[in-house]
Amino acid sequence: MINTVGIIGYGNFGTFVHELGQRFFPDLEFRIHSRRQEPDNEKFFDLKTAAQSDVVILCDSIREYEDRMKAVLENTLPDTVFIDVATVKKHTSDICHKYCDGRRFISTHPMFGPTSYKKHKGDVNGFRIVVTDYTLKNDDYQMLKKKFSEFGFNIIEMTADEHDKNLAETLFITHYIGQSILKAEFTRTEIDTLSFQFLMDAVESVKDDKELFEDVYKFNPYCKGVAEKFHKAQEEVYKEL
């Protein structure tokens, strides 16, 4: 029986997870731990209290994931379910196996965020959640999968390696192009074509994620090759002009 959910990390995505949690699970108690907020024991709690929830979702940055996971697991209860929602999966799944030590965990990556949620006006139908690894009992996993499918989410199962390869060629390259456009200081105009509007929509969806962009490049082994491939293609296109 799940009554409490701890959210560790209350940045952009942690805040979004809290919003979704309150919407889809209004009867649950959410305990948030943020190093930027003093505990009030109503919304924000110390790490130990948040970690001793029935479910704990780690929303800290990838570069801190290992240290933060260890800190959380030192305080969790034996039956606590740990949920990994990081953007890279091989790195964090390996950490889960290393430190969870028989505990129940599930490694996921929601393929959406607060910007896409807002653009779709809160309609989550078709929003994808990738699951790459879990140590839950299969009956518990299937029940969880069914519940989220009923909300409208599309659950996609693949290996962590497959996820990271696909992500490098999709989300990462979107961030790469977006950061390049920001660096070049291109902006919207009053005569934008529809295609440019779509491009700038993508740029604006990633503009505040510089740290995530850097972390994905560092911890996803496929990103370097994708960046080199794209850079080479840019040079070839420029030469052709």
Residue 129 lies in a domain: yes
Last residue of a domain, one of 158, 179, 212: 158
pLDDT bracket for residue 155 (50, 70, 90): very high
Domain identity same for 151 and 187:
no
Residue 163 lies in a domain: no
For 14-52, how does the pLDDT look when each residue is reduced to its tens digit (9 = 90+)? 999 999 999 999 999 999 999 999 999 999 999 999 999
Given phi > 0 = left and psi -120 to 50 = alpha, else beta, which region is 3? alpha
pLDDT bracket for residue 168 (50, 70, 90): very high
Domain identity same for 142 and 174:
no
Residue 72 lies in a domain: yes
Domain identity same for 77 and 106:
yes
For residue 156, give Cα distances in angstroms to 58, 126, 167, 180. Answer: 20, 11, 13, 30
Q: Which tokens go with 84?
A: 């990994």
Domain identity same for 53 and 154:
yes
Strand partners of residue 31: 6
- Residues 136-159 have a mean pLDDT of 97
Domain identity same for 148 and 195:
no
Residue 142 lies in a domain: yes
Confidence check: pLDDT of 153 > 90: yes
Listed in sequence order, the DSSP H helices in 34-89 are 47-51, 65-73
By the 8 A CB rule, do 215 and 63 touch? yes
pLDDT bracket for residue 175 (50, 70, 90): very high
For the entire predicted model, the pTM comes to 0.94
Last residue of a domain, one of 158, 185, 206: 158
- Residues 55-69 have a mean pLDDT of 97
Residue 183 lies in a domain: yes
For 199-218, how does the pLDDT look when each residue is reduced to its tens digit (9 = 90+)? 999 999 888 899 999 999 99
- The structural domain count of the chain equals 2
pLDDT at position 101: 86
Q: What is the mean pLDDT of the chain?
A: 96
Residue 32's contacts (CB-CB under 8 Å, 6 or more residues apart) are 6, 7, 10, 14, 18, 43, 44, 45, 50
Domain residue limits at 118 = 4-158
Domain identity same for 148 and 229:
no
Domain identity same for 176 and 150:
no
By the 8 A CB rule, do 89 and 41 touch? no
pLDDT bracket for residue 156 (50, 70, 90): very high
Domain identity same for 140 and 201:
no
Domain identity same for 10 and 121:
yes
| Pair type for strands 104-110 and 128-134 | antiparallel
- Residues 114-125 have a mean pLDDT of 94
Domain identity same for 29 and 54:
yes
Domain identity same for 151 and 182:
no
Residue 115 lies in a domain: yes
pLDDT at position 205: 87
Measured CA to CA, the distance from residue 201 to residue 167 in angstroms comes to: 19
CATH number for position 126: 3.40.50.720
Confidence check: pLDDT of 102 > 90: no
pLDDT at position 208: 87
Domain identity same for 151 and 175:
no
pLDDT bracket for residue 238 (50, 70, 90): very high
Residue 32 lies in a domain: yes
Last residue of a domain, one of 158, 188, 218: 158
